[in-house]
Amino acid sequence: MNTTDNESVLRRVIKKVSAYIPQVEKPKKKITLTEKFVWSGIALFAYLIMGQIPLYGVTSDPKFDFLAFARVIFAAQQGTLLELGIGPIVTAGLLMQLLKGSDLLKLNFKNPDDRSLFTSATKIVTIIVIIAEGSLYGTSVYGHLVARPEFIVILVSQLVGSSIIVMLLDELVQKGWGLGSGISLFIMAGVAQGILWSIFSPLPAQDGPVGILPFIINSATNGHIGDTLFRSGQLPSIFGLIITSLVLLVLVYVQGIHIDIPIVSTKYRGFTAVYPIKLLYTSNIPVILSSALLANAVFMGQMLWANYNPQNDNPVFNWIAQFDPGRPQTPTGGLLYYITSPQSLDAATQDPVRAVAYVVFLTAIVTVFGRLWVELGGLSAKSAAKNLLDAEVQVPGFRRSEGSVQVLLNKYIPSVTILGSIIIGLLASASNVLNVFGSGIGILLMVDILVNYYNLLIKEQVDTHMPKLAAILGRK
């Protein structure tokens, strides 16, 4: 059987399987902006409620959180129906994007049938990942924490069922009922929730309320206002609030830096525009991939340490990692210690070598992943040139050929990829070391999502008040 026959069989299988998968129908009439806000609010409210419902049948919490590294990325809540959060959806989406960018899937995305096939395939892969992750996580992490062995089936069913609901909520927003994507909405809400918690939480800590504002009021009342500038551990402080504000301002500024390449339409005479190449060309994908790599390294280190060096008495293994037997959450020595964040100014001050090593290491691997993502994610100069020509536009002064436009884009894309990756790597690592509110990667994701929503709202306004212009832009 040749390659063409294999592709034909795969297409038929995807179409048959997708017929049995639950789907959210697209709206049959045009949805107003107000209605989109309402539906987005409903999806977000349902998601937040799920994050407050504990897993049924679990008698106690795990000793430590295996997904602590990715709670912000996956908008997940430990011990609830959102134990996995959007993790399976993100994982499946990245797998499909890699297949698309590497041309392993031969699809023409100008063809509606091929676009629909890719969407169906992504959904099938998402459900497979949901079942795999739900089963593995339910049995390995919570298997020994259930009231009775038969509860494991109920537990896995909860994890799988709730993840499918999250997938449908995301689809509800993406299909046109809401604004943007559900994944972005959930991540943004989770990070914003963490920041608000750090600012306003009245719950008690060892030195007063957790939130910095209640803590300031409490300290001022007791005549200890000087204690609010710095706090021990990872508790919010005025210094943390200032650093968080500065990081937000820097990110908003950097997001607006771009190189504009003039383009003209070959279909509509006189229609001109610009093709912007942003400084943060790769967005936050390299940071997400780098964080996942580090987290998996720590997870493997924990597993090996627990089996071969639980008392830190193996001199060879101690070069790789050491953990505190009473609290094996983060490394206390070895190579893993120097490539993970101190996560507080206190810890960074006590061991500045570790802080510097972490910043340098994370920035380096973010830069490497940034370069790889441009090639595998379909963002290279060659792919961008093809996309411009497919959109029936050309660059004035250049022949309308892929090679000609590619030469022009090659002057900018490789440079902004490296420079942008270094910038986001430095911002993410330094923010993690200084313990900004919402975490460094959380702040990066939130700002990127907010900028995208701002651009989306502008397009919605154009569509509402100038539909003819929106139609031209949509066909460009």
What tokens appear for 186 in the block? 């959930």
The last residue of one of the domains, among 179, 205, 237, is 179
Q: Are residues 164 and 263 in the same domain?
A: no
Closest CA to 58 of 184, 152, 171, 189: 152
- Whether residue 298 lies inside any domain: the answer is no
At residue 465 the predicted structure's pLDDT band, cuts being 50, 70 and 90, is low
How many structural domains comprise the chain?
2
Tens of pLDDT, residue by residue over 9-54, are 777 888 888 888 888 888 888 888 888 899 999 999 999 999 989 9
Q: Are residues 288 and 426 in the same domain?
A: yes
The residue type of 164 is: I
- Whether residue 113 lies inside any domain: the answer is yes
| All residues at 6 or more sequence positions from 132 whose CB lies less than 8 Å from its CB, including other chains | none
Taking 80 as the threshold, does the pLDDT of residue 306 lie above it?
no
Q: Within 13 Å, how many C-alpha atoms sit on residue 467's CB side?
A: 2
- Whether residue 352 lies inside any domain: the answer is yes
- Window from 129-143, 317-331, 430-444 with minimum mean pLDDT: 317-331
Which whole number is the average pLDDT over 92-102? 73
Q: Are residues 160 and 49 in the same domain?
A: yes
Q: Is residue 167 left, alpha or beta, with left meaning phi > 0 and alpha meaning psi from -120 to 50? A: alpha
Tens of pLDDT, residue by residue over 62-84, are 766 666 666 777 888 888 999 88
Q: Are residues 159 and 258 in the same domain?
A: no
Give the CATH number, domain containing residue 457.
1.10.3370.10
Angle between the N-to-C axes of helices 182-200 and 33-50, in degrees from 0 to 180, rounded to the nearest 10: 60
Domain that holds residue 138: 34-179
State the pTM of this model: 0.78
The last residue of one of the domains, among 128, 146, 179, is 179
Taking 60 as the threshold, does the pLDDT of residue 414 lie above it?
yes
The predicted structure's pLDDT at residue 116:
80
Start-to-end CA span in the chain (Å)? 40
- Whether residue 331 lies inside any domain: the answer is no
- Whether residue 324 lies inside any domain: the answer is no
DSSP SS3 for 330 = strand
Could you tell me what percent of the chain has a pLDDT over 70? 89
Which whole number is the average pLDDT over 330-344? 85
Q: Are residues 407 and 259 in the same domain?
A: yes
Tens of pLDDT, residue by residue over 160-215, are 999 999 999 999 998 889 888 888 888 888 888 888 888 998 888 887 888 899 99
Q: Are residues 350 and 441 in the same domain?
A: yes
Contact 185, 44 (CB under 8 A): yes
Sign of the dihedral defined by the CA atoms of residues 454, 455, 458, 463, in that order: negative
Tens of pLDDT, residue by residue over 123-165, are 999 999 999 989 988 887 787 777 777 788 999 999 999 999 9
The last residue of one of the domains, among 163, 179, 195, is 179
